[in-house]
Amino acid sequence: MAVPKSKITRSKRGMRRSHDKLSPAAYIEDKKSGNLRRNHHIDLKSGEYNGRQVTEPRD
């Protein structure tokens, strides 16, 4: 079984884990409708994606 040669300090452990945090979801404003939506996702209000109609528009 592997045994560490020396103790990993709280500082070094924290530095290693600093990249594990979750980033908040990014939202953009749709050019046509002005609604907030996720990038590369369908605009749910207008039902459009990449300039073409994908689903029926919602109210």
Domain-by-domain residue ranges, the chain? 34-59
Residue with tokens 């939202």: 27
pTM above the 0.95 mark?
Answer: no
Chain mean pLDDT for the chain: 91
43: region left, alpha or beta (phi > 0 left; psi from -120 to 50 alpha): beta
**Across the chain, where does the E strand assignment appear?**
27-29, 36-38, 48-49, 52-53
Q: Are strands 52-53 and 27-29 parallel, antiparallel or unpaired?
A: unpaired
pLDDT over threshold 80, residue 59? no
The two beta strands, 27-29 and 48-49, are unpaired
How large is the greatest C-alpha to C-alpha distance in the chain, in angstroms?
63
pLDDT at position 5, please? Answer: 94
pLDDT confidence bin for 35, thresholds 50/70/90: confident
Average pLDDT over residues 41-48: 89
Predicted pLDDT of residue 51? 87
